[in-house]
Structure 1
Amino acid sequence: MKIQAILAAAVASAAIASPAMAQDKSDWPESFTIGTASQGGTYFAYGSGWANFMAENLGISGGAEITGGPMQNMALVHTGDLSFGLTTMGPARESLEGKSPLAPGMAMDNVCAMFPMYETPFSITTLASSGITSIEDIPDGATIGFGPSGSTSDTYFPRMMETLGVDFERRNGSWSDLGGQLQDGLIDVVAFAAGIPIPAVSQLEVQTDVNIIGMTDEQAKTITEAFPVSEFVIPASTYQSLEEPSRVVSMWNFAIANCDAPESLVYEMVKLTMENNDKMVSIHKAARTTIPENYTKNNVLAWHPGAARWFNENGYEIPESKIGK
């Protein structure tokens, strides 16, 4: 009986990896790297965990690289400096149209979608001691941290604040660094755009009292009409500091690949990700929406052929016209 139990366990542990074993790996790289963002943000936690999950089951080494976030990841994946990355649909569209501030005029069209990740809510955090409990309370000339330069937050949140009539001084930095500056009183507000729960916010509220600020119905309507975002509600259970759900806006994130990445490798990566949501959620809670049904949220990028093959095989229709060459 003991031998049978051992054999059963071995079969179970191999169940995830076995499909990859049947693939022709002749064009697979020995290792891979995925572009994420700064430490303290969701991209880095999600991307690092995903890379380890892929490496454990595909027989190649993998890891995450700290980058400037979605806009820079589009550039790095387009040029082939990185084979994989994480991006947000707004920066992806601007990069595809040649409007990236990192390379104006360059249409980054060698980037293909792999799978849906989660929505990025745009939310504001202040110290409770500041007395700032709403967007209207932010004083003229307040110093606001918008995340790493070129990040989704840095690209869109300043424009959103201006649209809502906020006058501010701009500060950039990693989420961890900005959280520390907020706690030390060096800045007044941090305007976060990251999957929830945001590690830097969770760490902040353990160390001090914070206010997590949402939008009024009117503010949310104004922003959704002016930017490529949709309304989103942060559940009260997300943070200790929230006593009720918080209305904000959000933008979808997708994992991306260089369109020339091996089709069989991308197929296996998508298969592992889409068929093991419990594992993805154990990496980061934001992965609750890393499910195949959300493939429809991509209305910007062409699909990688390997990704499209998995979705089409499993009943999620991606037409030939939407598949990268």
Structure 2
Amino acid sequence: MQKCAGVMAAVALTTTVAFADAHADKSDWPSSFTVGTASQGGTYFAYGSGWANLVAEELEISGGGEVTGGPMQNMALVHTGDAAFGMTTMGPAAESLNGTNPIAPGLQMTNACAMFPMYQTPFSVTVLSSSGITSIADIPAGARIGFGPAGSTSDTYFPRMMEELGVDFERRNGGWSDLGGQLQDGLLDVIAFAAGVPVPAVSQLEVQTDVNIIEFTEEEQMQIMEAFPVSQFNIAADTYTTLEADARSVSMWNFAIANCDLPASFVEAVVDVVMSDNERMVNIHRAARSTLPENWDKNTVMKWHPGAAKWFTENAGATIAADMIHGDM
């Protein structure tokens, strides 16, 4: 089996190199690129920096991840071209396209295009075991809750979810690593995470102290699904050492995005690097187990970059409507 896996990996690598060679004319490619991620300690930063480095190495072009405020800011950065690539969730993407992104109200960010599916973002709650909190209903009135960076998916949707569930709280923002430290120091009562699992900050907390990872009840899960653009999700028991069973949650899909004006051959080559060898992506972050070609259909919001649409049509059997491809009608 190991020998077989090694052969498959070699074939995948050869395929990627061959694809890159097939696009030897890189005259219109940028000399470098950045990927908008999110705060350090969160899944976006680990995942995004990882695939940026992988692409840079395989395509022999300078590139890397950049710390940002998360999905809302990434939509703005990619739309304006200040970042070639970024990552977003479907909710913030829809708001940005509709002109309700709080970073630039009224601006319809239609120059950010879908590039490839990433993974689902579960919404989860973490507290110190010493708090005695074991359910959403246990969260005391006036609890100090950290919702992640301002403008992030978590900060956009989790406060509304908590209000929907009748939780009274004080809203706090910050990077995930910083909020983890504040929870440990007693400066926060709860952290409400919306990030691919395992969340690095939660994994670090587990090593340093005892935590409770709070799941939603069936009723709470249904209530949130009816009120927000999320779907049912279970956080697998093997995700964290703290969990003894799967934890009930809700989730929202994430997609990598590209500035729509980037050369089609460049974006196609980038997509090929990321999508052609899932094992390498999973080695970057376990959330990439969902970074699979067949998940192309999870994008129902953004128009596709032509280069990305070409790759998925030719390699994943995708049937993408012409009016869902940027520049086509």
> TM range, normalised to the smaller chain?
over 0.9
Question: Which residue does the alignment assign to 1:287?
Answer: 288
Q: Which moved more, 1:311-320 or 1:42-51?
A: 311-320
Query: What runs of 5+ residues in structure 2 fail to find an aligned partner?
Result: 1-8
CA distance in 2, matches of 1:123, 1:14: 40
Aligned to 2:313: 312
Q: Quick one: distance in 2 between partners of 1:96 and 1:320? A: 18
The reply on whether 1:81 has 2:52 as its aligned counterpart is no
Which range moved further: 266-275 or 198-207?
Answer: 266-275
Q: Map 1:6-25 to 2 at 5 A.
A: 14-23=14-23, 24-25=25-26
Q: Which moved more, 1:277-286 or 1:314-323?
A: 314-323
Q: In structure 2, the residue corresponding to 1:117 is in which secondary structure?
A: strand
Q: Which residue of 1 aligns with 2:201?
A: 200
d(CA) in 2 for partners of 1:244 and 1:148?
29
Deviation track 1:3-31 (CA, whole Å, cap 9, x = no partner) reads: xxxxxx99986542221122121100111
| 1:21 counterpart SS class | helix
CA offset at residue 318 of structure 1?
A: 1.1
CA distance in 2, matches of 1:80, 1:62: 15
Residue 153 in structure 1 maps to residue 124 in structure 2: no
Counterpart residue type for residue 253 of structure 2: W
CA gap 1:209/1:11 in 2 versus in 1, 3 angstroms: closer
Kindly provide the CA deviation profile for residues 285-315 of structure 1, in whole angstroms up to 9, marking residues without a partner as x: 0000000111111000000000000111121
Gaps of 5+ in 1: 1-8
Amino acid aligned to 2:108: A
The alignment yields a C-alpha RMSD, in angstroms, of 1.3
Distance in 2, Cα, partners of 1:242 & 1:68: 29
Tell which deviates more after alignment, 123-132 or 19-28.
19-28
The 2-side partners of 1:112 and 1:18 are apart by: 26
- Give 1:300's aligned amino acid: V
SS at 1:126's partner residue? strand
Paired residues for 1:109-128 under 5 Å? 109-128=110-129
1:85–1:13 distance in 2 versus 1, CA, 3 Å:
closer
Establish whether residue 265 from structure 1 lines up as the match of residue 272 from structure 2.
Answer: no
Q: What one-letter code is carried by the residue in structure 2 that aligns with 1:319?
A: A
Mapping of 1:139-150 within 5 angstroms?
Answer: 139-150=140-151
Shift of residue 95 of structure 1?
0.4
Amino acid in structure 2 at the alignment position of 1:133: T
Deviation at 1:208, TM superposition (A): 0.2
Match of 2:4 in 1: none
The alpha carbon displacement at 1:320 in A equals 1.2
| Offset from partner CA, 1:69-112 (integer Å, 9 cap, x none) | 00000000001111100000000000000001111100000110
In the alignment of these two chains, the number of paired residues is 317
3-state SS in 2 of match to 1:17: helix
**3-state SS of paired residue (1:324):** coil
Question: Which amino acid in 2 is paired with 1:16?
Answer: T
Q: Which runs of 4+ in 1 moved over 3 A?
A: 9-15
Q: Does the residue aligned with 1:120 lie in a helix, a strand or coil?
A: strand
Matches of 2:275 and 2:186, distance apart in 1: 43
- Structure 2 equivalent of residue 217 of structure 1: 218
Q: Distance in 2 between matches of 1:19 and 1:101?
A: 40
The farther-off stretch of 109-118 and 313-322 is 313-322
Match of 1:103 in 2: 104
> In structure 2, what is the Cα distance between the partners aligned to 1:268 and 1:316?
17
1:13/1:301 CA distance change after superposition, 3 Å = closer
Partner of 1:234: 235
Q: Which residue of 2 aligns with 1:138?
A: 139
Query: Amino acid of the residue matched to residue 21 of structure 1?
Result: D
**What secondary structure does 1:16 align onto?**
helix
Which of 143-152 and 265-274 deviates more? 265-274
Q: Look up the match of 2:48.
A: 47
The AA in structure 2 aligned to 1:203 is Q
Partner of 1:321: 323
Cα displacement (A) at 1:219: 0.3
Q: Distance in 2 between matches of 1:49 and 1:132?
A: 35
Determine helix, strand or coil for the equivalent of 2:116.
strand
Query: Do the aligned residues in 1 keep the contact of 2:46 with 2:285 (CA within 8 Å)?
Result: yes
**Structure 2 counterpart of 1:224, which letter?**
M
Q: Which amino acid aligns with 1:82?
A: A
Contact 2:179-2:191 within 8 A present in 1 as well: yes
Residue 62 (structure 1) aligned with residue 63 (structure 2): yes
User: Which whole-Å CA distance do the structure 1 matches of 2:156 and 2:10 have between them?
Assistant: 48
Taking a change above 3 Å as real, the CA distance of residues 42 and 218 of structure 1, as seen in their structure-2 partners, is same
Amino acid at match of 1:282: N
In the alignment, the residues of structure 1 paired with residue 318 and residue 304 of structure 2 have an alpha-carbon distance, to the nearest angstrom, of 12
